Structure 1
């Protein structure tokens, strides 16, 4: 899984920003072996095909989005492509990504946003005879997409509860409440992961199995097997499964082929919060 420093990405975005009416989808050099895809402008029919063609051309680390939204189905296809490729997504400072754009942004394996950025959601809708009405079919498509991304009921409610002419704007508190994992970019250059709170410190007799740890969640090779990705007190990220009774965990470590030989047990005392999935 690839990752580019998001501060560099947002700088590249600002320097190359355009005034496109329809979605402008382009590659931006970053001075690294990886490139950045920028999607800017209204998402219209055919944009998902252009996006897919763009991301086939090179190995991409991240997708930066700036769009008021547009075609729902196109946004969902773009989001699925982002997730299938393991790309990160981001919204730069002082910019907005709403409606179909926000749904595409959710597809990021890691989702970044600046506190000054706007990421907004509302219910799917159709326009008939000049009148806007909520679309049950559209909301069902969104619900299925969110389920594919591993998002739960709280996220579905948050994403689809605003009326078509309103907007639910995401912030750190709402992301945590809805179980939408986000990395917030702070003014001092640090990154604050936001995830749904879970009970990480375990009672006596129970343990997490720590499959591996890394300085970045995107370099965890065992993430696909994990139940949680957690941030630890020493600044690392860990992929863990469980919790299990300690005796059960020990047996699993001896018998389960996907558990690395250097995996270990943890009570969770050093875990800060979950970024999972």
Structure 2
């Protein structure tokens, strides 16, 4: 059975979904996206994703394509039509279709596309065993705080990691870790302090990041938002990442050096459980 996807106001089978070859998302990566997790058929952190979507659009001089209530309705309709119990809803907004020109076109209808993916995210084998990461130079553009669809370099970094037998890469700029290819990065120091890079244009303000840091503070864990190096990470008690569909994922190895005796650390495991519990309470 084919998935039902949403394209510019219509619910269609995925094989019938079409956009113009002149769409600026295709030609210029001129678009933004959000990924909202689905647990027990409900949306996780939807309001946070909507706020970040609006911010990304404003930063690129675009507007939100429809009212918030309509976007929520579309998400719920896709979840229902595709019978998604656990997985995600992907949303993408581009500037629309116009003749190829570097200048932004005027008065062009935006393109709005959404689709679902069913996948197991709570019972994650990667979270159970812990991820292995390698460090890679961060060669992305300078506005990583905007969630654009230009994901070629993160994809390249992910492939570098896989070629080295790892699961993911942590990106490094000026000797300091920015983030993972599709997640925020954390270490836990020997005294139990959670360290993650502070917000700026260097990283994406993760919606899961904000929720997990809130959980950490409620659990009386000490948090420092500052940069850290790979050298500091290698001396850490443990490490982990956060993302919309990865939740909290322990990191057990960095550049071939094992952390936490090669097992998921206690802080990451506790935060993952707390985040899932709190997310289900607030799911819509």
TM-score tier, shorter chain, comes to under 0.3
Greater RCO (Cα-Cα under 8 Å, separation 6 or more): 2
TM-score, scaled to structure 1 = 0.25
